[in-house]
Amino acid sequence: MKVVKFIRHTLVRCGGLGGLSCVLILLVAMPGSFGCSERLSALQRTPNGGAESEHQRLAEVNAYPLEQNLIINVDHRSTVSLNGKWQVIIDPYENGYYDYRYLPKTNGYFKNTKPRNKSELIEYDFDKSEVLNVPGDWNSQKDRLFFYEGTVWYKKSFDYQRKPNTRVFVYLGAANYHSIVYLNGQKLGEHEGGFTPFNFEITKVVREKDNFLIVKVDNKRRRDAVPTVNTDWWNYGGLTRRVELVEVPQTFIRDYFIQLKPAQGRGLAEGGKGSTKTIAGWIQLDGNQTEQAITVEIPEADVKQTFKSNADGYAEFEFDAELQLWSPENPKLYDVTIKFETDSVHDSIGFRTIETKGSKILLNGKPIFLRGISIHEQAPKSDSRAHSQKHAETLLGWAKEMNCNFARLAHYPHNENMPRTADRLGMLVWSEIPVYWTILWENEDTLKNALNQLTEMITRDKNRASVILWSMANETPVGKARNEFLKTLVKQAKSLDPTRLITAAMEKSYKGANTPVINDPFGQYVDVLGCNEYIGWYEGLPDKCDSYTWTTIYDKPVIISELGGGALYGFHADKDTRWSEEYQEYLYEKQVEMLEKIPFLAGTSPWILTDFMSPRRPLPQIQDYWNRKGLISDKGKKKKAFYVMQRFYEKLKQDEQ
Ligand code: GCB
């Protein structure tokens, strides 16, 4: 825990997660022991830096501020929902933001100005504008927003009675893609990235009557963004997840990490064996009364331990406990309470270890085959983005029905209901950031953005037992700049969370015509290799699977993280007819025969659980803007191939027992 300890301590000294920059700077600068501010000012003196070494480059990249002060576990806090109907103005020209010289306005729509007399010219009025539901994407709510990519202004009015000695934050579960948040005409902050939460304190701005919260949400695709302009999913825009006010005491428990203790000194490419008895972690308070006696209680395991936080509100702990370990067969969650004099927070936490040994993944010390399925955040039986508890239960329920013990949540962090439901159902999870296809690898702002999304994902979900894999990227083209970019992400992920395994979905090469080889050079930096392959769909016909002998240059577990092909539910023909259920069924049968012959295979997550919307899929009467590779249709109907996977996984399950 030494390095982790150092990182946490540094984080606190340098201002919470915003201080990650300092952490990485200090890590690379060690053993020289200069403080954050000295190092930062050194960087400021060399603005473009010349980035000679990797270390120097890393330091410079991380001189950008990262996510600050994210409150975790808002589910178990006192909240006031701002969900429901919001008034909106659709603003494709961003007229509410820029003037006619394309300069930001001081009196934009965020001021919610009303004419003061009958002569005054004001060309917008939220109160007479149309409404959209929050949470919810805008595309599925209004026909004319179906393909829309641009700015929509959202407004919610509310009264608020602040309780004595409390602080208030506005918390947004996600807004796709870029958002600027204003309360009562005052800017609170901005956020980039469509799939992770963020919050701003409003204690001093909120008033008793007639607050107006305005969010400018812009989902224009940008070449330098994460993801970039080209993906294969619908660019759902808007306030796609919950919006809440979070009420906390003056000093409160903002963040904590409670997991089984990882092995000492895990390197970049070692799956680390952890303890099954020692719980280790940290707690971060936020506020002025930072030195507190903080108690961690797990009544069912007879744990009651008290620790002192330091002047930075940071406490680290380690203690032994007799625990039933969490697993898919026994998804045991403990009620954990963290409290001190003025604040208390509950969580349901499972404890398990995850490690690798050669080509095996070990859960709680025992080899496990990941019987998985990939899932997009497409709401079941709907053309909208999923966000609710019910959506999570349906999607993961279908995966269970297929005999899965594992879900790859592609291609971005899903809403928090997914990992929480996975915790309860006993579903292992792969969680990833949208570093997808052709990111601008040499753009430092792009890297900063990816680091921030990674940080927010890990910050939110690091206490979920279900999550075993953090994935850095999907099908990114091999190259030096890409490798450097992804290595920086790996370092960040490992420094934030030394308890989980790192992966990425990569592609294969060929040694000979029928000999695929897993040899992406980035493979050396991950614990588990993900490999996407479409033999029988993009690559030949299904029979092609018969001739393949898979090889790898790494002694590491491999997950075939995608495989599959499209079928329109209800379209029946022979197995050679594309888009028929029979073609897809046959493809899966051939794939399964091939998979059974891969000696180093540790799991599979076929593409994909349900049909999902994508602008890349226009074929009339078949696709109609749906990617049809789902094993379940857009109406919730199971295709024939679903049962091929169900049978395969049933067999693997039996073999395991
Ligand atoms: C892939 C991508 C995935 C696509 C899929 C497809 O390799 O990773 O995002 O949706 O192929 O259907 O082509």
Mean pLDDT of the chain: 90
Per-residue confidence at 226, pLDDT binned at 50, 70, 90? very high
DSSP 406: E
Report how far ligand 1's centroid is from the alpha carbon of 608 (Å).
9
Report how far ligand 1's centroid is from the alpha carbon of 30 (Å).
42
- What residues have CB less than 8 Å from 367, skipping those under 6 apart? 357, 360, 361
pLDDT digits (tens, 9 = 90+) for 557-600: 999 999 999 999 999 999 999 999 999 999 999 999 999 999 99
What pLDDT shows up at residue 262? 85
Q: Which residues of 93-110 are buried (b: 16+ CB within 10 A; e: fewer)?
A: ebbbbeeeeeeeeeebbb
CB 630 within 8 A of CB 611: yes
What pLDDT shows up at residue 55? 53
**Residue carrying structure tokens 């797990």:** 298
Best mutation site among 584, 607, 614, 629 for ligand 1 pocket (most ligand atoms within 8 Å of CB):
607
| pLDDT at position 12 over 80 | no
**Residue carrying structure tokens 């998979």:** 595
pLDDT digits (tens, 9 = 90+) for 269-300: 334 456 889 999 999 999 999 999 999 999 99
Cβ of 232 closer than 6 Å to ligand 1, yes or no, is yes
Q: Using a pLDDT cut of 90, give the percent of the chain over it.
A: 87
What's phi and psi for 362, nearest 5 deg? Answer: -110, 125
| pLDDT at position 649 over 70 | yes
Report how far ligand 1's centroid is from the alpha carbon of 563 (Å).
9
Per-residue confidence at 354, pLDDT binned at 50, 70, 90? very high
CB 348 within 8 A of CB 383: no
| pLDDT at position 353 over 80 | yes
pTM value? 0.91
CA dihedral of 134, 137, 141, 146, whole degrees rounded to 10: 160
Q: How far apart are CA 439 and CA 482, in angstroms?
A: 8
pLDDT digits (tens, 9 = 90+) for 76-106: 999 999 999 999 999 999 999 999 999 999 9
CB 179 within 8 A of CB 191: yes
Report how far ligand 1's centroid is from the alpha carbon of 509 (Å).
17
What pLDDT shows up at residue 212? 98
The interaxial angle of helices 581-595 and 640-656, nearest 10 deg, is 20
Q: How far apart are CA 69 and CA 74, in angstroms?
A: 13
Q: Strands, E, within 330-396: which ranges?
A: 334-340, 343-349, 354-357, 360-363, 366-367, 370-375
pLDDT digits (tens, 9 = 90+) for 599-647: 999 999 999 999 999 999 999 999 999 999 999 999 999 999 999 999 9
Closest ligand 1 atom to residue 627 Cα is 12
Mean pLDDT of 219-224: 98
| DSSP string across 146-180 | TT--SEEEEEEEE---PPTTEEEEEEES--BSEEE
pLDDT digits (tens, 9 = 90+) for 109-137: 999 999 999 999 999 999 999 999 999 99
Best mutation site among 228, 232, 617 for ligand 1 pocket (most ligand atoms within 8 Å of CB):
232
Report how far ligand 1's centroid is from the alpha carbon of 76 (Å).
36
Best mutation site among 471, 508, 562 for ligand 1 pocket (most ligand atoms within 8 Å of CB):
562
What pLDDT shows up at residue 53? 54
Compute the 3-state secondary structure of the chain and give helix, strand, coil in percent, each to the nearest 5.
25, 30, 45
Q: How far apart are CA 452 and CA 393, in angstroms?
A: 28
Report how far ligand 1's centroid is from the alpha carbon of 132 (Å).
31
Per-residue confidence at 59, pLDDT binned at 50, 70, 90? low
Cis bond before residue 135 (omega within 30° of 0): yes
DSSP 402: T
Report how far ligand 1's centroid is from the alpha carbon of 232 (Å).
6
| pLDDT at position 61 over 70 | no
What pLDDT shows up at residue 65? 42
| pLDDT at position 70 over 80 | yes
Mean pLDDT of 196-217: 98
